[in-house]
Chains A and B, each alone.
Chain A
Amino acid sequence: MDEFLRILTQSLAELIAPTTAAYALAAIGLNLHFGYTGLLNMGQAGFMLLGAYGFGIATIAGAPFFLALLVALVAGLIFALLLGIPTLQLRGDYLAIVTISAAEIIRWIGRSTWLQEWTGGASGLQGRNYKGTFQDLSPLPDGRTVIGPLEYINTGSDSWWTRIFAWGVVALALLFVWLVTRSPWGRVLKGIREDEDAVRALGKNVYSYKLQSLVLGGMLGALGGVLYVLPITIAPDAMGRTMTFFVWTVLLLGGAATVFGPVLGAMIFFGAYMFMRTGMRALSENTGVGDVISTTNVEQIGGMLVGITLMLLVIFRPQGILGNKKELAFNVR
């Protein structure tokens, strides 16, 4: 029973973990791309990695916190422009191939020895080198705080301050996306998602709107990348295709083209993922199941279940948990 409580607590903790917030923010960005505009961005992890590098390298170079944050945003903006300007006039699946390739290029450059001096190569940048300015901002007193079953230090890597900041940013992003998507601007994006030729025939510059959407969502992704690395390290290999696919799963789980979908999706995804893995690990360690499934297999089975979930979701409930059945999320070209 204690064991079960522990697993439950761990899963509960995932709901508000900084990583969950980071994925939620990246999914909010992807929602602008895919849910509202119908753009197939398969490289959201590239935006996140670039944001993380921008923040980390700027901080290490001596930039104050908010300047470093700005550098991350600008990195996302430039990346979106570089990707969008040439490809947004092409067919949708070209954008998918170009974004996934570009994200991989960023990762390979990051882990290469070429820029090792700045990026730290394959091993990345150590958290302690860029966390200082962020933790200095904390208004919380020293010490630890217990809320219910959760206990963290007030300020530090895995701390209340990191959580408060991360979810604060997510809340702001939600407010922002809610405002812009219910405006006429958001209506044009939705029109483009439905049929860009029709919108073009009404005199709207479709290309410009798609670029705006790509830039905005990309900048949110870059910010998500910063949130992701604040409690840990910047490791390029942790921010590859798998991350992009997880962001997609999060978005589709919660419901594309809904405001709260990405947040709900992230919470459910990581809560369930943690519950499943710790649960299976506990079973494997404490019962006869261990003879069949070793603890290393638990990770692999967990990964398989994510893939199967994504497939089932897209096939049977493409509108996600919050989506309206009439507003099916797929009709993009």
Chain B
Amino acid sequence: MSADMSEETTSGQAHDAAGPPESVVDAAAAAAVAPTSAVAAEARDDLSQVEPVVGAPKPDAILVADDVVRRFGGMTAVDVEHLEVQRGAITALIGPNGAGKTTFFNLLTGFDTPESGRWSFEGKSLAGKSGARVAQSGMVRTFQLTKALSRLTVLQNMLLASPKNPGERFWLSWLPFTWQAHEKEATEKAMEILARFKLDAKADDFAGSLSGGQRKLLEMARALMTDPTMIMLDEPMAGVNPALVQSLLGHVQALRDEGMTVLFVEHDMHAVRHISDWVVVMAEGRIVAEGPPATVMQDQAVVDAYLGAHHDTDLGDDSLLDPEILARLEAEEEKR
């Protein structure tokens, strides 16, 4: 694994002229992998006991979903019978394009409403809660197409995420003394996180001036500002310079090692197998397999549904040729 990483790092330096700071991040992130938190170690321990079958119960599940169904027109985009996500682990949600991953993700985070279903986060039901309430309860998400707030500075992007800011109440907003203390604390915290993501030099730039990869980092950093218990990343690697992928993966691992739970969506198996503790595979709206990465890759259902035809090819383009997948994609597109 470390061999992989250094290989990628050198190639990154060659390809990405604008990216010296980014490749430094790689090294930092790689270093961060070593000290693992107790929660993360325990989670890995726990998961090694779990039988790799669909809907398997987890020893310490932070997120439990049951019978979540979402239809677009006549087509069932998501139909998940049972899923548990282990606390303190990195769980990857993978599947070919159009498998319903992002839709499922939107449902869980309150950005879409299912036809039916219930799910709970840390024992509290989240079904029917708005996106904002879900975020307030400690489950924070990012987006596949990055949503950097372009005409705010990087620092403003970060400060916006700070929870419970008294100055965000209208009746206190015009009395600066009521919120300046909180603002100062938040700024310190923001600069710390930005420094970790090597964005501190850009703090006063408009977020719109960042590169695609930097935006991804900013979005992750912004999510961290909310002190989440669980962080949901929607295709964090999509559209990112290959050189930066390693760095991003390193950051994701670092989150886990700090005790956070990570669920992330990805369609490329190769990118996730290094870092995830558990992999859930979706195809045509259903969960077809789950288990540790190595086990899942040998699962016949996965090979059939997903890897068989497209192994080692770029799924993104080929799958577009399949009319069924195309129709599903369009349905998702419309929803957006």
A residues near B (Cβ < 8 Å) are 176, 179-180, 183-188, 190-191, 193-195, 197-206, 212, 216, 326-328, 331
Contacts and interface: CB of A to CB of B under 8 A. Distances in A.
Nearest to A329: B151
B141 interface: yes
B149 A195 contact: yes
B165 interface: yes
B174 A202 contact: no
Contacts of A191: 149, 152, 157, 160
Given A194-B152, A202-B222, A184 B132 contact: no
Q: Binding site of A, secondary structure by majority: helix, strand, loop or mixed? A: helix
A174 B167 CA distance: 19
Nearest to A179: B174
Given A194-B152, A203-B136, 20 more contacts: A180-B173, A183-B179, A184-B179, A184-B183, A185-B170, A185-B172, A186-B173, A190-B151, A191-B160, A195-B149, A198-B143, A198-B219, A201-B147, A202-B135, A202-B140, A202-B223, A202-B226, A203-B133, A203-B135, A327-B151
Contacts of B141: 201
Contact of B147 (A176, A187, A188, A195): A195
B149 A183 contact: no
A322 to B, nearest CB: 15
A193 B169 CA distance: 18
A182 to B, nearest CB: 8
B160 A187 contact: yes
Contact of B130 (A176, A188, A198, A200): A200
Contact of B132 (A180, A206, A328): A206
Q: Looking at B172, B174, B209, which has the most chain A CB atoms within 10 Å of its CB? A: B174
B23 to A, nearest CB: 28
A184 B169 CA distance: 8
B131 A200 contact: yes
A187 B140 contact: no
A183 B151 CA distance: 16
Nearest to B169: A185
Contacts of B209: 326
Contacts of A212: 170
A302 B232 CA distance: 56
Contact of B135 (A183, A195, A201): A201
A198 B147 CA distance: 6
Nearest to B111: A197
B168 A188 contact: yes
Interface in B152-207: 152, 156-157, 159-161, 163, 165, 167-170, 172-174, 176, 179, 183, 206
B134 to A, nearest CB: 8
Interface in B204-260: 206, 208-209, 219, 222-223, 225-226
A201 B143 contact: yes
B142 interface: yes
Contacts of A179: 173-174, 176
B160 A180 contact: no
A202 B173 contact: no
A35 B130 CA distance: 26
B150 interface: yes
B173 A184 contact: yes
Given A183-B179, A184-B159, A194 B226 contact: no
Contacts of A331: 150-151
A203 B140 contact: yes
Nearest to B150: A194
Nearest to B179: A184
B47 to A, nearest CB: 27
A151 B193 CA distance: 61
A198 B149 contact: yes
A143 to B, nearest CB: 39
Nearest to B219: A198
Nearest to B156: A187
A188 B149 CA distance: 11
Contacts of B159: 184, 187
Q: Looking at B148, B159, B160, which has the most chain A CB atoms within 10 Å of its CB? A: B160
Nearest to A215: B170
Q: Across the A-B interface, give the 9 residue pairs with the lowest CB-CB distance, nearest first.
A: A203-B135, A185-B173, A184-B167, A198-B147, A183-B173, A194-B149, A179-B174, A203-B136, A200-B131
